[in-house]
Structure 1
Amino acid sequence: MQNRFFTVIIPIILLVVGAFYFTAQFIKPSPKKEITIATGSKTGQYYETALKYKELLEKEKVKVNIINTTGSIENIKLLNDQKVDVAFIQNGTLENAENLEALASIYYEPLWIFYNNKNTISYMQDLMGKKIEIGQKGSGTKDLALDILNINGIYEKNSTFLYDNSDISKNKLLSNDIDALFLVTSANSKIIKELLTNEHISLFSFNRANAYSRKFNHLNALDLYEGTIDLLQNIPNQNKKLLSTTATLVSHKDFSDELIRILLKKVTLVHKEKTLFSQENEFPNSSNLLLKQNEEAKRYLENGDTWLEEIFPYWIASTLDRLKILLIPLITLSIPLFKGVFPLYRWSIRSKIYRWYDEVQDLDLSLDKADKQNLIKKLDELEKLKKEIKAETKVPLAYMSEYYDLIMHLELIISKANMKLNNQ
């Protein structure tokens, strides 16, 4: 019986181990826990946001490298060269790229146009012939500013365009060296708050904001209500209409799906709160993306965490998810395995009963030629065997009938020995 057990179970074990080893060859290795992010200048919103991601991701043992750049155009080049994994891109800067994919829109980036109070500017055309800071070359701000200016007939041939960074541009505006300044950043930016509170500087209001949003698919019309920035000082002192694009996270196509998921988990934590222009849980989202969206990012934004991610820490859940391919050999082998397990179980239980029959049979056969003295000895052996069987044989209720058959057979042999002893 024992040999039969091993001849059945050992091939099953070897088959399972072999199937697991073969299937494991198709499992992707765990990605390197490192993300390189291209932002913008250290004074910009992209950099501040990347620092928040870094803090959260490094709690998950993911190393984060931050690379400062001049803006979206340089970030796109770094992505194409795969010198970074993820970058902040101003939506509308890039519409088609074979090797790049959008992950999510993460927050509104309003276009702020500030000008000196010495000028009267009601419409964009009023900037014609003026000195205008439109953002650094290589930045998304420059591209957006040119779109807005050019559609209103304002070009370098009839106006003066300057390409300094935001700090230099701000100082030029405050010192009256320029007439207007274009900025694309969030309302929380220090430079925005500084300019809004300066009594000599005004914020341009897009009276035709809805018209612009129809002309450019990546632009939205936003309302900045009176007193929104500071109720006590009533900043701004009247309702303003703004145009806004969205900050977009973009990756190259070879970026790991697992790192995309854990990144978006942290992105969601950073951007889900209600802000000046967005409702709670409005961001991150898949809205207004001009670039093709990564499929894993799309699934995460639509469905959130998997049930494994809700139960286990992320990297354990990720490992289990990668091992799901091992279900193939398990399912394949489950039917024959279960067919082998139940007979083995029945055999193991019954063997507790049947192992006594060799001894019972030997005693039964020995009675035929026994004299009176040997019969007394055999009866004593039978009684001891009976007590031993009752003490050592424990089986489930389903097998008690076979147990009592053994006891009954033993009682019959004891009766047979007693009758033979009485007849001598």
Structure 2
Amino acid sequence: MKTLKLLLIFIILLLLPLLYVAIDSNDHKKSISIAIGSKVDAYTAYAMAYAKEFKEEGIKLNLVETKGSVEAQEKLLKGEVDFAFVQGGTEEKEILALANIMLEPIWIFYKGRSISDLKSLKGKRIAICEKGSGILPVTLDLLDLVGINGFNSKLFHVSSNAAYESLKKNEIDAMFYIASADAPFLKRLMTMPNVHLMNFTASQSYKQFFVKRNKHFEVVTLHENAFDMKKYIPRKRYKLLAKNTLLATYNASDEMVRLMLKILHSVHRKVGVFHEENDFPNASLLKVKQHQASKEYFREPTHYYENNFSFWIAQSLNKLHDYTLRFIFPLVALFAFFIEVMIPAFNLYGQRKINRWYDMVNQIDNTIMTVNLKNAKERREKLKKILAEIRGTDDIAANHMADFYTLQNQIVNILDALDKRIKTLHEKHVKF
């Protein structure tokens, strides 16, 4: 019967972790959302690539179109989306960064021979994008640097599509656009007749100046024929200023963040126009707080369980592993300490009390048959006090009860012997 009970306990202990893994591995969101910009930028293509990989893990990724990075962050902080693309320079303090995922250069397209650099845009008609777009803060920073504002130039808040059409119709002189080299809309701009791309020949100077303002820009090089070898687009080399674009969250779970980072690595690790293989994703020069799960991911991109199990089972096993190390092992150690140290100490304490009483009783019992009447009465009173103390004790361990009751019986026997001794001595005293 005892063996059967032990076997039953063992089976229960074995099934509990399996039950936990079975329940926990299915306890996650089955549908999440990501805020993208407009459909003409590269975010849509990237988000669709994410969606394909999320689907393999049983999760639907919904794409939520926005005017740009600023609006995307508003939706993120309101809990309307789980993730958002955020352009460098527009980050809200409350968001949590996962990683930088790409470089997005600032593309300034213009018409007319009178424009050659940023300063020459003064007094011109410039499309600086919609309000709520991530391009706007970066654009205004650049224009402010060379003294261009709404008082000395005409600034239009329009979408990239509207700016393209206006430039095509000569209704504006220049437009700002921020996107990775993979953006489909960028190829339309690069092949637009009589439209030129601005070359930031003094890009290092701009970069150093913005460093003083605690703002970071990268300098990238667009090489000849990078877009089209057959049509020689572009025909010359360009220096461009670029910002890191990051993926951010506000309240996504640690497991979902880790899965997203794995997908980001799969999508963005490939070589690009402005970066080498495995340059992205990365966590360098983040301007906002990095998500704790992101820190853990970059410390350990994959662990044992992920190498041997599906993603969600691996996360459950990893949590179980962490719980074991954090809680169960300390409890086992504490229990072992209690068994090996505290219980023996308590037993020793109980045994010492009994031994002390035995010593006291033995001292009284020695030479009991040779003591005089006065000494016999004194010993009897001492024994009665000891017996009363023993009978008033209730903290003796069960394994010492035999000695405890034996001692009481011994005291009773000694008291009987003392009573006889006192009676004998008293009778002798009366005779004399």
TM-score for both structures, normalised by structure 1: 0.71
Per the TM alignment, residue 153 of structure 1 is displaced from its structure 2 partner at its CA by 0.2
Residue of structure 1 in register with 2:204 after alignment: 210
Q: Distance in 2 between matches of 1:251 and 1:227?
A: 37
| Alignment map for 1:8-23 (pairs within 5 Å) | 9=6, 13=10, 16=13
Q: Distance in 2 between matches of 1:284 and 1:329?
A: 36
**Which stretches in structure 1 are left out of the alignment for 5+ residues?**
340-424
Mapped pair 1:104 → 2:102: no
Per the TM alignment, residue 16 of structure 1 is displaced from its structure 2 partner at its CA by 4.8
Q: 1:235 aligns with which of 233, 237, 240?
A: 233
Q: 1:191 aligns with which of 175, 185, 206?
A: 185
Amino acid at match of 1:150: D
Distance 1:20 1:67, change over 3 A: closer
Per the TM alignment, residue 266 of structure 1 is displaced from its structure 2 partner at its CA by 1.0
Can you list the C-alpha shifts for 1:350-403, whole angstroms capped at 9, x where unaligned? xxxxxxxxxxxxxxxxxxxxxxxxxxxxxxxxxxxxxxxxxxxxxxxxxxxxxx
Residue of structure 2 in register with 1:124 after alignment: 118
Per the TM alignment, residue 326 of structure 1 is displaced from its structure 2 partner at its CA by 4.4
Distance 1:308 1:175, change over 3 A: same
Determine helix, strand or coil for the equivalent of 2:228: coil
Q: 2:110 aligns with which of 107, 115, 119?
A: 115
* Greater Cα offset, 61-70 or 194-203: 194-203
Q: 2:195 aligns with which of 198, 201, 219?
A: 201
Residue of structure 1 in register with 2:360 after alignment: none
Q: 1:134 aligns with which of 104, 128, 137?
A: 128
Q: Distance in 1 between matches of 2:329 and 2:11?
A: 13
Distance 1:14 1:166, change over 3 A: closer
Kept after mapping to 2: 8 A contact 1:218/1:290:
no
Kept after mapping to 2: 8 A contact 1:28/1:322:
no
Amino acid at match of 1:220: E
Residue of structure 1 in register with 2:258 after alignment: 261
Amino acid at match of 1:108: L
Distance 1:52 1:28, change over 3 A: closer
Residue of structure 1 in register with 2:430 after alignment: none
Residue of structure 1 in register with 2:294 after alignment: 297
Distance 1:19 1:279, change over 3 A: closer
Q: Distance in 2 between matches of 1:40 and 1:193?
A: 17
Q: Distance in 2 between matches of 1:166 and 1:281?
A: 30
Residue of structure 2 in register with 1:288 after alignment: 285
Amino acid at match of 1:109: E
Amino acid at match of 1:322: K
Per the TM alignment, residue 189 of structure 1 is displaced from its structure 2 partner at its CA by 2.0
Q: Distance in 2 between matches of 1:189 and 1:123?
A: 24
Q: Distance in 1 between matches of 2:15 and 2:110?
A: 73
Determine helix, strand or coil for the equivalent of 2:115: coil
Mapped pair 1:247 → 2:242: no
| Alignment map for 1:393-408 (pairs within 5 Å) | none
Q: Distance in 2 between matches of 1:271 and 1:14?
A: 46
Q: Distance in 2 between matches of 1:87 and 1:51?
A: 14
Number of equivalent positions: 327
Per the TM alignment, residue 121 of structure 1 is displaced from its structure 2 partner at its CA by 2.2
Determine helix, strand or coil for the equivalent of 1:102: strand
Kept after mapping to 2: 8 A contact 1:260/1:296:
yes
Per the TM alignment, residue 226 of structure 1 is displaced from its structure 2 partner at its CA by 1.8
Per the TM alignment, residue 308 of structure 1 is displaced from its structure 2 partner at its CA by 0.8
Question: % of aligned pairs identical?
Answer: 34
Can you list the C-alpha shifts for 1:111-136, whole angstroms capped at 9, x where unaligned? 100001x2332221100000000111
Q: Distance in 1 between matches of 2:328 and 2:8?
A: 15
Amino acid at match of 1:208: A
| Alignment map for 1:10-409 (pairs within 5 Å) | 13=10, 16=13, 30-94=27-91, 96-97=93-94, 100-116=95-111, 118-216=112-210, 217-252=215-250, 254-324=251-321, 325-326=323-324, 328-329=327-328
Distance 1:20 1:57, change over 3 A: closer
Amino acid at match of 1:212: Y
Q: Distance in 2 between matches of 1:214 and 1:317?
A: 46
**Which stretches in structure 2 are left out of the alignment for 5+ residues?**
340-432
TM-score for both structures, normalised by structure 2: 0.70
Can you list the C-alpha shifts for 1:162-206, whole angstroms capped at 9, x where unaligned? 011111111111111100010001112222212222340110011
Kept after mapping to 2: 8 A contact 1:35/1:62:
yes
Q: Distance in 1 between matches of 2:260 and 2:69?
A: 20
Kept after mapping to 2: 8 A contact 1:16/1:329:
no
Amino acid at match of 1:164: V
Q: Distance in 1 between matches of 2:14 and 2:307?
A: 30
* Greater Cα offset, 27-36 or 220-229: 27-36
